[in-house]
Structure 1
Amino acid sequence: MADTFTAPAAPVSIYAEASPNPESMKFVLNSLLLSDGVSVDYPNLEAAANSPLAQELFNFDYVGRVFIAANFVTITKNSDLTWTHLIPELRTFLKSYIEANGPIFTVDPAAEQQAAQHAAATGDASEQDQQISQKVIDLLENYVRPAVEQDGGNITFRSYKAGVVTVNLQGSCSGCPSATVTLKSGIENLLKRMVPEVTEVVAEGITV
């Protein structure tokens, strides 16, 4: 289990990759921080209680949000400073922290994510709604999440009720100017086509 929480002590290379959100930058590593398909989103310092790495990143005054996935960290800034000035400092910090075998998490994010997803899909929903929820979750996991991760973010299922699917947008997707268009033109159309019971998709986490 230790390998899940702490990155291996080995030479680390990191490069910065722009995302559709101009306020977010994706830092891609050559080592794994999490199991594939697992990610965590920290919208503020208080939410990062279980991640020493995220807490350290919030010590930079200009860091407003931290998103950690399998092999990258997306950082959203809350400052007018340009990425040209910020990237070198953040890349140096991440490289040093991970090479020093700094702790990434204090609890297993995979277990938490699985429990949350199961609770969202079942809860007090009817058997039919549970089946529809599972179809939606499978589509999001297999078709939507990989594409969203490429842009430094993530999408998670929140609920299904009376035809309406609620999802949560994380990382660079939160606050992204194109998030609403992507949600309606891409994700909603896909789910409507594949799951006829779905009539609308709405999102938490859009802060445009």
Structure 2
Amino acid sequence: MIENKEKVVSVYAEANPNPESMKFVMSVTLLPEGQSVDYPNLESALESPLAQELFNFDYVSRVFIASNFVTVTKNSNLEWVKLIPELRTFLKSYVEAGGPIFTEGFVVNKQKAATESHGEASGENTDISQKIIDLLDNYVRPAVEQDGGNITFKSYHDGVVTVFLQGSCSGCPSATVTLKSGIENLLKRMVPEVREVVADGIAV
């Protein structure tokens, strides 16, 4: 088991643009910087005992784990002011007790989708894809992580960039606006070949 040995942990809640999600920032490292995992349901969380425990709260519908925070998405009309103390206490107690975050041998396969799409692309498409990945890594992802989410490159084909939106970004009412007015404009300006940006992971 990958365990956290720290015994004193501070946890605070931070709101983000998605009213159904809350970001819980912790004083310990859960994953290496730049890595993250997204669990849209209990069945997908087999490699994370922490995520499985969070899904035991009947109002939790999604769990996103990044370097030093956990974003929890709820599926209930209950207000966050009532839920935050319970989740904060649980996270603090769990990590302080050395509870495993991930199962033994778990490795985040960073940007697996990008690697797979590179295998299908060649020549100019590969170069354009790499430019897009670099822009997402350096300019977009840090801002998205601040809001408790993540964005990863999936593919580039005929001027269309497809990305994955995870964590608080999935199902966020403002995600489509951010995607079009922010990310799409940036990529069009920096990579002239880009015509459009679309996303997987936006719940309708």
Per-residue displacement from partner, 1:70-127 (whole Å, max 9, x unpaired)?
00000000011111111111011100110111111124343x125443223x122122
1:85 equivalent to 2:101? Answer no
Q: 1:56 aligns with which of 53, 58, 67?
A: 53
Q: Which residue of 2 aligns with 1:108?
A: 106
SS at match of 1:101: coil
Are the equivalent residues in 2 in contact too, given 1:40–1:109 (CA < 8 A)? Answer: no
Q: Which residue of 1 aligns with 2:116?
A: 119
Are the equivalent residues in 2 in contact too, given 1:44–1:64 (CA < 8 A)? Answer: yes
Are the equivalent residues in 2 in contact too, given 1:173–1:206 (CA < 8 A)? Answer: yes
Are the equivalent residues in 1 in contact too, given 2:18–2:171 (CA < 8 A)? Answer: yes
Are the equivalent residues in 1 in contact too, given 2:47–2:106 (CA < 8 A)? Answer: no
- The residue type paired with residue 67 of structure 2 is A
What is the CA–CA distance in structure 2 between the aligned matches of 1:115 and 1:87, rounded to whole Å?
33
Please show how residues 175-186 of structure 1 align to structure 2 within 5 Å.
Answer: 175-186=171-182
Q: Which runs of 5+ in 1 are unaligned?
A: none
What is the CA–CA distance in structure 1 between the aligned matches of 2:107 and 2:184, rounded to whole Å?
28
Summarize the Cα distance change of 1:117–1:10 in structure 2 as closer, same or farther, 3 Å threshold. farther
SS at match of 1:41: strand
Q: 2:64 aligns with which of 63, 67, 92?
A: 67
1:132 equivalent to 2:120? Answer no
What is the CA–CA distance in structure 1 between the aligned matches of 2:97 and 2:162, rounded to whole Å?
40
1:149 equivalent to 2:148? Answer no
What is the CA–CA distance in structure 2 between the aligned matches of 1:207 and 1:73, rounded to whole Å?
20
What is the CA–CA distance in structure 2 between the aligned matches of 1:163 and 1:41, rounded to whole Å?
27
Per-residue displacement from partner, 1:39-93 (whole Å, max 9, x unpaired)?
1100001111111110110011000000000000000000111111111110111
Q: Which residue of 1 aligns with 2:34?
A: 37
Are the equivalent residues in 1 in contact too, given 2:152–2:165 (CA < 8 A)? Answer: yes
TM-score by length of 1: 0.94
Aligned residues: CA RMSD? 1.2
Once structures 1 and 2 are overlaid, which stretch shifts more, 7-16 or 139-148? Answer: 7-16
Per-residue displacement from partner, 1:151-197 (whole Å, max 9, x unpaired)?
00000101001110000110000111110000000000000111111
Identity of aligned residues (%): 72
Q: 2:24 aligns with which of 24, 27, 46?
A: 27
Q: Which residue of 1 aligns with 2:165?
A: 169
TM-score by length of 2: 0.96
What is the CA–CA distance in structure 1 between the aligned matches of 2:185 and 2:56, rounded to whole Å?
40
How many residues align structurally?
Answer: 203
Are the equivalent residues in 2 in contact too, given 1:39–1:109 (CA < 8 A)? Answer: no
What is the CA–CA distance in structure 2 between the aligned matches of 1:9 and 1:17, rounded to whole Å?
22
